Amino acid sequence: MATENKNLSEYDKNTIPNAKDFRFGIVVSEWNETITEGLYNGAFEALIDNEVPAQQIIRWNVPGSFELIYGAKKMLQTQNVDAVIVIGCVIQGQTKHFDFVCEGVTQGIKDLNVQTDIPVIFCVLTDNNIQQSIDRSGGIHGNKGTEAAIAAIKMAYIRQQASMSHPFNQPLLSSGAIQIEETPIKIDKE
């Protein structure tokens, strides 16, 4: 379904896990600032709406979307957060720069999700023109910041549940592997 057919700000509060004890980091790009402020406001308000205390929301600014990767990495390493949201807005210009910034930030954030344990939520608009950005940052299609905040709550909850259901609740081996008790396989003899 395209954003056009879905309001990005709509969510059913009954389906959202309790978020009052989680800490969230939000890294905001200063490029296309009016748009990224709209996205930040959407994310912040959705977290507050879901009972996250304001002091458990840590905001950092970075110069552009490309810097969101480093900002998120440092946030993960230093702020004891349960999830990070990266907020940016890349708008097509006259050159291929758009493609490289979009590809770079997308792959970088994907890498953080693969390599580290804390979820990083992608709230980066990659638009053909400013109108598309306005429409998605509190305009006619709602606010992708709201959608990102709900995703962050859900992912923080999944991480919490996963750690609680860790096999036998045992610590990781020094190799990083999980110790799994072997169950003998029964082979039927003919």
Ligand X SMILES: CC(=O)[C@@H](O)COP(=O)(O)O
Ligand Y SMILES: Nc1c(NC[C@H](O)[C@H](O)[C@H](O)CO)[nH]c(=O)[nH]c1=O
Catalytic site positions: 97
Among 6, 97, 110, 166, binds ligand X (CB under 6 A): 97
CB-wise, 89 or 155, nearer to ligand Y? 89
The angle formed by the CA atoms of residues 136, 40 and 48, to the nearest 5 degrees, is: 110
CB-wise, 88 or 142, nearer to ligand X? 88
Chain-centre distance for alpha carbon 179:
30
Amino acid code (one letter) for 50 = N
Among 94, 129, 165, 175, binds ligand X (CB under 6 A): 94
CB-wise, 81 or 102, nearer to ligand X? 102
**Nearest CA-CA partner of 89 in 146, 149, 39:** 39
Q: Render 95-125 in DSSP notation, one character per residue.
A: STHHHHHHHHHHHHHHHHHHHSSS-EEEEEE
70 touches 35 (CB < 8 A)? no
The reply on whether position 90 binds ligand Y by CB under 6 A is: yes
* Binding segment toward ligand Y, per CB under 6 A, in 24-32, 158-166, 168-176, 181-189: 24-32
CB-wise, 50 or 133, nearer to ligand X? 133
Least CB distance to ligand X at residue 130 (A) = 10
The reply on whether position 95 binds ligand X by CB under 6 A is: yes
Burial classification of residue 31, based on how many CB atoms lie within 10 Å of its CB (0-12 exposed, 13-18 middle, 19 or more buried): middle
Among 37, 41, 61, 64, binds ligand Y (CB under 6 A): 64
145 touches 43 (CB < 8 A)? yes
SS3 59: strand
The reply on whether position 33 binds ligand X by CB under 6 A is: no
* Binding segment toward ligand X, per CB under 6 A, in 7-15, 75-83, 89-97, 150-158: 89-97
Interface residue list for ligand Y (CB under 6 A): 29, 31-32, 63-67, 88-91, 101
